[in-house]
A and B are shown apart, each in its own frame.
Chain A
């Protein structure tokens, strides 16, 4: 219980420091934020009233207090471009990103762990070397480049190679422009739109996890505990359970930390596939100089990382007896 409170307090303190750092960064930036809001030919009076409306005429300390109180209450201001509350913009985008990132992450773990285990079992063989080369290259490939490659394959490639109709996957957006009816047809439509972005994110994620799983499993297999179990005649799936038990804490931490990473990493994939999530909201806001949305998205990402860290800290004693 005391541990829980200490972790919670540390997380809250960290969040407050992040809120402060983001405020300082925003105020350090050159240029007058008011000029982004008013029309190009605005008079001095209009500029002054806009400044007062945005609260930018108050002393810096007051601005900071307002910002921190708003941020900790979930009030992130208003979008300069659309006039909507930033909170609403992010609330629309977050579930879309979470779904994309969550599905990709689960697939990444399933595929990455399988490939890593296979490689560890056949370590040193040609197959292992080929898979290592493949996973290293995939982990080094920019996500947006792979995404463009996928689009090229299913448009340019599809017509050149004569793909059948059902294999011509849509590459843009969340669903067909005209709407695709309701019920099952709508779900199938969204799922078909999701195939390419999920595949790209999963390929990159699985490559990283396979690299981690291979080296971790090879380390664990070398431990005395496993050698002793082997000596006692444990083998096959029972031995695999012994190995997994030791590797589990590392995997739990990896999983918790990977979720915000995947969501942040989906910025490019969302941008290429026009997927209306957090990453797209942020890049669109940057290109239109919509600073409140950018700041709000940054805080939301940071809150996600801090929550994931907290979850890992709290979960770890449950899977690692040495920490109890």
Chain B
């Protein structure tokens, strides 16, 4: 009961956050006059600037409204997180499926690479990659995908190996289906469940990692806003104006919790279906 309630709450919250991010540009106000900017810097929440505009969540050190900026940053943070997780998931499924389906030397080589990359903590691998390439939006997405596929490849490989021995796969083969078609139509649909769960859970960690890279100045570069570089912008004034970092950080926490709750719910549902669909081991 509570589990279903929390899943609904998470879905609703994610929908609201996404919707707000989508309509965010409508909230963006016209640039204020210079005098207003100087008087309107680092305003506390609920304060009014000299021009008389109310700032619900206060302003940053350039006098920009924090609510509008957090919503704008949400567009980039959400897009980077979802895109990074999905590309990583797809890459993992392809590599895992090829390894599990082909077996032999291909399997051993791909799994050796997977294990080696898994031996480096993901954050360290991310930092290594952004250190070697130029920081920026594209790099962050590519690097999130390049460092996030290994776990999903392992899962998919195991599922493909298990599904490969099923009777309907033998039947398809006996009917003369080509290997690629057998893999695509008969094996993969039965092997995709865990990968989908892992990809959903991956959205949360991708958003967290993006914010971390941007916080260190290695991710999304200002003036483009992301939740991470907004938290970083509040770092220097944390002693006098802590709300500047508070709001974007809360956005990260809320989104990540929702992604985790959804992933857990998906996993429970998948596990429940399995128990009835598969014969006891």
Whether chains A and B associate is: yes
A positions within 8 Å CB-CB of B: 14-15, 17-18, 20-22, 25-26, 28-30, 129, 136-137, 139-145, 148-149, 151-152, 155-156, 260-261, 264-265, 267-268, 271-272, 282-283, 285-287, 289, 291, 294-295, 297-298, 301-302, 305-306, 309
List, in ascending order, chain B residues with CB within 8 A of A156's CB. Answer: 238-240, 242
Q: Inside 8 A of B256's CB, which chain A residues have their CB?
A: 140
User: Judging by beta carbons under 8 Å apart, are B260 and A140 in contact?
Assistant: yes
- Are the CB atoms of A305 and B120 closer together than 8 Å? yes
Contacts A144-B231, A149-B242, A260-B121: A286 and B218 contacting too (C-beta < 8 A)? yes
Docked-complex contact B121 and A261, CB < 8 angstroms:
yes
Bound CA span A21–B208, Å: 25
Provide the bound-state CA to CA distance between A22 and B131, in Å: 12
Chain B residues, CB < 8 A from A15? 119
Candidates B131, B212, B234; contact of A294 at CB < 8 Å: B131
CB-CB under 8 A from B119, the residues of chain A are: 14-15, 18, 302, 305-306, 309
Tell me whether A286 and B127 are in contact (CB under 8 A). Answer: yes
Nearest residue (CB) in B for A263 is: B121
Q: Complex Cα distance A266/B133, Å? A: 23
Q: Which residues of A contact B235 (CB under 8 A)?
A: 148, 272
| A145 and B130 in contact, given A17-B115, A268-B215, A298-B125 (Cβ under 8 angstroms) | no
- Taking CB atoms and an 8 Å cut-off, the chain B residues in 186-225 that contact chain A are 204, 208, 211-212, 215-218
CB A299 to nearest CB in B, in angstroms, measures: 9
Whole-angstrom distance between the Cβ of A15 and the nearest chain B Cβ: 8
Given the complex, which residues of A lie within 8 Å of B130, measured CB to CB?
Answer: 286
Overall SS of chain B's interface: helix
| Chain B contacts for A298, CB-based, 8 A | 120, 124-125, 128
Are A286 and B208 also in contact (CB < 8 A) when A142-B252, A148-B231 are? no
Instruction: Check if A302 sits within 8 Å of B133, measured CB to CB.
Output: no
B260:A17 contact, CB within 8 angstroms: no
A264 and B121 contacting across the interface, CB-CB below 8 Å: yes
- Knowing that A140-B257, A145-B211, A156-B238 are A-B contacts, what are 15 other residue pairs whose CB atoms are under 8 Å apart, sorted by A's residue number? A17-B116, A22-B128, A26-B132, A142-B231, A142-B252, A149-B249, A264-B121, A265-B123, A282-B124, A286-B127, A294-B127, A294-B128, A295-B128, A302-B119, A305-B121
- Is there contact, CB below 8 Å, between A140 and B239? no
Instruction: Please give me the residue from chain A that is nearest to B131 by CB atom.
Output: A286
Distance (Å) between the CB of A129 and the closest chain B CB?
Answer: 6
Which of B121, B129, B249 is A142 in contact with, Cβ under 8 Å? B249
Contacts of A283 in B (CB 8 A): 127, 216
CB distance B127 to A129 under 8 Å?
no
Please determine whether B128 and A140 come into contact, CB atoms closer than 8 angstroms.
no
A15 to B115, CA, bound (A): 10
Question: Contacts of A271 on B, CB cut-off 8 Å?
Answer: 216
From 65 to 102 in chain B, residues with beta carbon under 8 angstroms from any chain A beta carbon are none
* Interchain CB contact under 8 A, A140 and B253: yes
- Give the number of A-B contacts (CB < 8 Å): 137
- Chain B: which residue is nearest A299 at the CB level? B120
CB pair B113 A151 closer than 8 Å: no
Chain B residues at the A interface, C-beta cutoff of 8 Å? 2, 112-113, 115-117, 119-121, 123-125, 127-134, 204, 208, 211-212, 215-218, 228, 231, 234-235, 238-240, 242, 245-246, 249, 252-253, 256-257, 260-261
**Interface SS, A side:** helix
Min CB distance A163 to B, Å, is 14
Contact B217 A282 (CB under 8 A): no
Give the complex CA separation of A309 and B120 in angstroms: 12
Residue of A nearest to B234 (CB): A148
For A272, the chain B residues whose CB sits under 8 A away are 235
Contacting pair B257 A136 (CB below 8 A): yes
**B115 x A145 contact (CB < 8 A):** no
**Complex A-B: 18 CB contacts under 8 Å:** A17-B115, A18-B120, A20-B116, A140-B204, A140-B257, A141-B252, A145-B252, A148-B245, A152-B245, A265-B123, A268-B215, A286-B127, A294-B131, A298-B125, A301-B120, A302-B119, A305-B119, A305-B121
In the bound complex, CA of A104 to CA of B215 (Å): 23
Our pick among B2, B208, B215, B252 for the contact of A129 (Cβ within 8 Å) is B2
In Å, the complex CA distance between A282 and B130 comes to 12
Tell me, in angstroms, the Cα distance from A286 to B139 when the chains sit together: 15
Query: Which residue of chain B is the closest to A261 with respect to CB atoms?
Result: B121
Which chain B residue has the least Cβ–Cβ distance from A287?
B217
Chain A residues near B113 (CB-CB < 8 A): 17, 21
| Minimal Cβ-Cβ distance residue in A for B128 | A298
The CA of A156 and the CA of B130, in the complex, are separated in Å by 34
Contacts of A145 in B (CB 8 A): 211, 231, 245, 249, 252-253
Neighbouring B residues of A151 by C-beta, 8 Å? 238-239
Task: Looking at the assembled complex, report how far the CB atom of B32 sits from the nearest CB atom of chain A, in whole angstroms.
Answer: 26
Q: Contact: A14 with B116, CB < 8 Å?
A: yes
* Complex CA–CA separation, A137 to B256 (angstroms): 8
Given that A17-B113, A148-B234, A286-B218 are known contacts, is A291 also in contact with B120, CB under 8 Å in the complex?
Answer: no
Query: Complex Cα distance A124/B119, Å?
Result: 37
- Contact present for B238 and A25 (CB under 8 Å): no
How many Å lie between the Cα of A272 and that of B218 in the bound state?
Answer: 15
Q: Give bound CA distance, A291 to B130, whole Å.
A: 11
The 10 A-B pairs of least Cβ separation, nearest first, read A264-B121, A29-B132, A140-B256, A152-B242, A145-B249, A17-B116, A286-B131, A155-B239, A302-B120, A301-B124
